């Protein structure tokens, strides 16, 4: 019996390729796990920069939010602070 050819759509092909944001998350997680906690030199997209662990964590948080927005798993606004909102409308 001859198997049927598998149809691969454009959506299937792009689903298997990590986005730039996903690549950044992977790279930053690896850098943070490999680091000793001090200032490090890292290379991303051919550019070498000196960063601290705190800077890496801030960047990681940013790129994780970008990935979540791209996947539709994070709302644009998480909370709205109404503590200073006017209660009387004149």
- Torsion region of 64: left, alpha or beta (phi above 0 gives left; psi -120 to 50 gives alpha): alpha
The answer to whether the Cα torsion of 61, 63, 64, 70 is positive or negative is: positive
Q: Tell me which of 75 and 62 has the higher pLDDT.
A: 62
- What is the tally of helices (H) and strands (E) in the chain? 3, 2
For the chain, where are the alpha helices, taking DSSP H only?
10-15, 20-34, 53-71
CA dist., res. 90 & res. 88, Å (int): 6
Task: Give the residue extent of every domain in the chain.
Answer: 18-71
Each residue's pLDDT tens digit, 10-66: 665 556 789 999 999 998 888 888 875 566 676 778 888 777 888 888 999 999 999
pLDDT for 76 equals 62
pLDDT for 41 equals 73
Global confidence as pTM: 0.56
Q: Tell me which of 6 and 71 has the higher pLDDT.
A: 71
pLDDT for 39 equals 65
- Torsion region of 72: left, alpha or beta (phi above 0 gives left; psi -120 to 50 gives alpha): left
Find tokens 């000196």 and name the residue. Answer: 50
pLDDT for 87 equals 65
């Amino acid at each position: 019996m001859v198997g049927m050819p598998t149809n691969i759509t454009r959506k299937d092909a792009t689903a298997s390729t990590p986005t730039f944001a996903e690549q950044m998350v992977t790279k930053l997680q690896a850098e943070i796990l490999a680091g000793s906690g001090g200032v490090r030199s890292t290379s991303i997209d051919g550019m070498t920069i000196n960063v601290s662990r705190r800077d890496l964590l801030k960047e990681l948080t940013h790129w994780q939010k970008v990935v979540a927005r791209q996947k539709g798993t994070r709302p644009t606004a998480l909370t709205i602070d109404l503590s200073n909102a006017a209660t009387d409308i004149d």
